[in-house]
Amino acid sequence: NAGVTQTPKFQVLKTGQSMTLQCAQDMNHEYMSWYRQDPGMGLRLIHYSVGAGITDQGEVPNGYNVSRSTTEDFPLRLLSAAPSQTSVYFCASSYSQGVQETQYFGPGTRLLVL
Amino acid sequence: SQKIEQNSEALNIQEGKTATLTCNYTNYSPAYLQWYRQDPGRGPVFLLLIRENEKEKRKERLKVTFDTTLKQSLFHITASQPADSATYLCALDIRNNNDMRFGAGTRLTVKP
């Protein structure tokens, strides 16, 4: 199993540009989530999904969109990038919602917005 | 307000000693708490989960305690090694549906 994969590893955007961060998992996990990590602030949940077709907002959802059309993929879209979105983004997955399962994290995408 | 606080940004200890990291939270009632390890440039890696009805859990040289009255978890690494040097994160599921909140982490350095 490849686990949780994320692409790209690193991206530079100009303010106002849009992009999609890709996340895929091959463990047949129902639950997937996106976090951002900023220095001194820990991981903050952006959006999460408890299964295909179902998404919900986390702690910091503004400026980001998600969709979950398949179990395997959970892309994160930035429609109009802002410098405040400069961060490291992590995707995670776990087997099921509310079953107190461990989360498996991807390697991260480093995003710089100029 | 709701907060998760890890006791210090950085902790330096000598090899062989026990490292103790603290995670305090306010205004949450989590059903469980998790601890993760994160190395520079990598994603977090799950270490241990402890439920609200468990006082202590162990895994090899790791021990976690969970005091729901004090709203505190302690994470211990016994016989620490330089390879244990990393940032350690605690996390709570605030609605028991994988809506996770993380502490900012404690960077542990174990010196030979």
What pLDDT score was predicted for residue A96? 67
- Give me the residues of chain A with pLDDT under 50, please: none
The single-letter code of the amino acid at A110 is: R
Comparing C-alpha atoms, which of A49, A56, A52 is closest to residue A70? A52
Size of interface A-B (CB pairs under 8 A): 63
**What is the pLDDT at residue B89?**
95
Tell whether A19 is within 8 A of chain B (Cβ). Answer: no
Specify the pLDDT at position A20.
Answer: 97
Nearest chain B residue (CA) to A9: B41
Q: Do B31 and A59 touch (CB under 8 A)?
A: no
In chain B, which residue's Cα lies nearest the Cα of A47?
Answer: B99
Phi and psi of A84, rounded to 5°?
-65, -10
CA nearest neighbour of A88 among B42, B102, B4: B42
Tokens encoding B73 = 């978890």
In b/e form, how buried is each residue of B38-52, taking b as 16+ CB within 10 angstroms? beeeebbebbbbbee
* pLDDT score for A1: 75
Tens digit of each residue's pLDDT (9 = 90 or more) over A48-81: 998 899 999 999 999 999 999 999 999 999 999 9
Rounded CA-CA distance A18/B63 in Å is: 44
Q: Which chain A residue has the Cα nearest residue B46?
A: A102
Residue B106 neighbours by CB distance under 10 Å: 21
Question: Which chain B residues are Cβ-neighbours of A98 within 8 angstroms?
Answer: 93, 96-98
Which residue ranges of chain B lie beneath pLDDT 70? none
CB A33 within 8 A of CB A95: no
> A107 in contact with B at a CB cutoff of 8 Å?
yes
Q: Report DSSP state, residue A23.
A: E
Q: Return the structure tokens found at B57.
A: 């859990």
